[in-house]
Amino acid sequence: MNLSSLRVDSSPLTVPKGRSYGRNFSDERPLLHLPYESRISPKALSVSSPKVVTADEVSRLGSLSQVSGVLGCQWGDEGKGKLVDILAKHFDIVARCQGGANAGHTIYNAEGKKFALHLVPSGILNEETLCLIGNGVVVHLPGLFKEIDGLESNGVSCKGRILVSDRAHLLFDFHQTVDGLREAELAKSFIGTTKRGIGPCYSSKAIRNGIRVCDLRHMDTFRDKLDVLLSDAASRFKGFNYSKDMLNEEVEQYKRFADRLGPFIADTVHVVNDSIAQKKKILVEGGQATMLDIDFGTYPFVTSSSPSAGGICTGLGIAPRVLGDLVGVVKAYTTRVGSGPFPTELLCEAGEDLRKAGHEFGTTTGRPRRCGWLDIVALKFCCQINGFSSLNLTKLDVLSSLQEIKLGISYKIDGIPIKSFPADLSVLEQVQVEYEVLPGWQTDISKIRNYEELPLAARRYVERIEELAGVPIHYIGVGPQRDALIYK
C-alpha cells in the first residue's frame, strides 16, 4: 500500500597549593583548580567571525536574543541538533541543560560527514563555540569520553572547548543495569526506555543519595558513597549482583576518570551567569522533547527530566527573566520511540512507508520509530507550555512524494471536542482524531533554499501549520545537510 493512497476524511575555584580535594592527581596540578577562562580555548571565548549569509538568514539570526533555546515539540527526534549546529556559529556558548546519553543528536559537518552526539552539545563542530554540560544533565563518563575520542579522531578538537558542571550527577554502568531490570519487572507495561540508566540516575538524585561530578574531588569519601548506591540497588533488585570486588573495580576506574575529567570540570552556573553579564550569547540545546516531559508528557511513558522551557532555568542555574527566544523544533509529521499513546500513528503499511522515507530509526538505540501524521493538538499544547517565539519545521522533503497529506487538527470523544491535550491516558487512548486533508506537491524540494521557490502546495502546508499552531515557522528543513535549510 502506498502512503499516498491513504485518505482519512474526517567564580574560579581556589585551594591551598598542593591540595587536591581529598586525593592526589597524576602529573601536574589539575586544571580544575584554575579559573575557567584559563582552561578553554581562546577561540571558544571570542565572538564568531561573520560569514556571507542571505538576507532572510541575517533577519532571523539577528533577531535572536542573547539567551536563546532550541527545544523539541513532539516525542523527540525532531532534528534539534541540526538547528543548534547551524545557529552555534552565531553564539559564544552552546549548553545542554537536562537529560543524558538517551538524547541522540545527528549532525553533519561542512564535508557532509555524519556525527551522532549524545552528551556533547551540538555546537562542537563550530570551533569558536564553547560547549557546556549543565548541572541538570546526568553524565555517563565512559560514554562522554567515547564521544570525545570519536570527535578528536575525526579532527574535531575538544580541548578547552567542553565544560562539565561540578553539580551534574554521575550516571554509572549499574544505573543502566537497573534500568533494564526495571523494564523487565514492568513486563507488558514497560516504559520503553533507551536503557541508558537515565531514570535510575535521576531517581538517585531525587532520593538524595546520588553522586555528583564534584564528588570526584573527594576520592577518600567516594568509595563510601558508591557503596551506598550499589547496596541500595542490590537490595531492591534480585537480579543485581553486588560484591566488594565490583566496588573496588568501580572506584579504581573512577580514580582514572577523575584525572581525565579534571580539565573539563567547572562551576558552570558561574560560567553561564558571568557570560550573560559580559553580553556573550548563549544557545541552550534541549534533549528529548516536551511530550516526554516528566510533568507534561504522556506520563508514565516519559523521560525523567524536564525537556520543556522550565528545565532551562533549573538545568543551568539562570533566572527566567534572562530567557529570550525559544525555537520549537517539529517534524512535518510525527514520530515516537518506545511505548505510550500516539493518537495520529499510522498502524499500516503507510506508516512503514513514512519510516523508510524519513529513515526513522533511533540515533541512540537504532530502534524503528513509530510514525504518523502531524499532531496539531500536541503541537499547540507544547507551544502553550514553552511560549515559543518561532518554529523549525523539519523533514518537509520526506512528504514530497505524497498526493495528499493530513493534519490531525482536533480530538473528539463520542463527537465531543476535547479542548486541550489530556493528562489521562485512558482518555487519550479513546480519542478520535479529526483530520484536515491537504494536497501534496509531488516534486523534489531538497535543493530549494528560498521559501518563495517552494511549490504552492508546500507553502500552503507550512502556512496552515503556522495558522493552527499560532506560532510562525522561521526555519524549514528540506534535508539532513547543514545547508538544507530555508529561512522564512
Q: Which residues are catalytic?
A: 77, 105, 205
Cell numbers that stand for 248 in this block: 573496588
Is 80 among the annotated ligand-binding positions? yes
**In this structure, are residues 394 and 445 in contact, taking their beta carbons and an 8 Å threshold?**
no
Is 364 among the annotated ligand-binding positions? yes
Is 368 among the annotated ligand-binding positions? yes
Is 397 among the annotated ligand-binding positions? yes
Alpha carbon distance 394, 415 (integer Å): 32
Residue type, 103: A
Residue type, 211: I
Is 134 among the annotated ligand-binding positions? no
Is 105 among the annotated ligand-binding positions? yes
Alpha carbon distance 362, 228 (integer Å): 34
Q: What one-character-per-residue DSSP string does 265-278 give?
A: EE-HHHHHHHHHHT
Is 440 among the annotated ligand-binding positions? no
Is 363 among the annotated ligand-binding positions? yes
**In this structure, are residues 273 and 318 in contact, taking their beta carbons and an 8 Å threshold?**
yes
Is 415 among the annotated ligand-binding positions? no
Residue type, 178: V
Q: Residue 318's Cα: distance from chain center in Å?
A: 19
Alpha carbon distance 178, 116 (integer Å): 25
Is 277 among the annotated ligand-binding positions? no
Alpha carbon distance 383, 4 (integer Å): 29
Is 362 among the annotated ligand-binding positions? no
Cβ neighbours around 63 below 10 Å, total:
13
**In this structure, are residues 485 and 478 in contact, taking their beta carbons and an 8 Å threshold?**
yes
Alpha carbon distance 269, 28 (integer Å): 26
Is 127 among the annotated ligand-binding positions? no
Is 76 among the annotated ligand-binding positions? yes
Is 288 among the annotated ligand-binding positions? yes
Alpha helices in 66-140, H assignment, sequence order: 80-88
Is 79 among the annotated ligand-binding positions? yes
Is 104 among the annotated ligand-binding positions? yes
Say if strands 374-375 and 404-413 run parallel, antiparallel, or are unpaired: parallel
- Which residues participate in the annotated binding site for Mg(2+)? 77, 104
- Which residues participate in the annotated binding site for GTP? 76-82, 104-106, 369, 395-397, 477-479
- Which residues participate in the annotated binding site? 76-82, 102-106, 194, 208, 288, 303, 363-369, 395-397, 477-479
- Which residues participate in the annotated binding site for substrate? 363-369
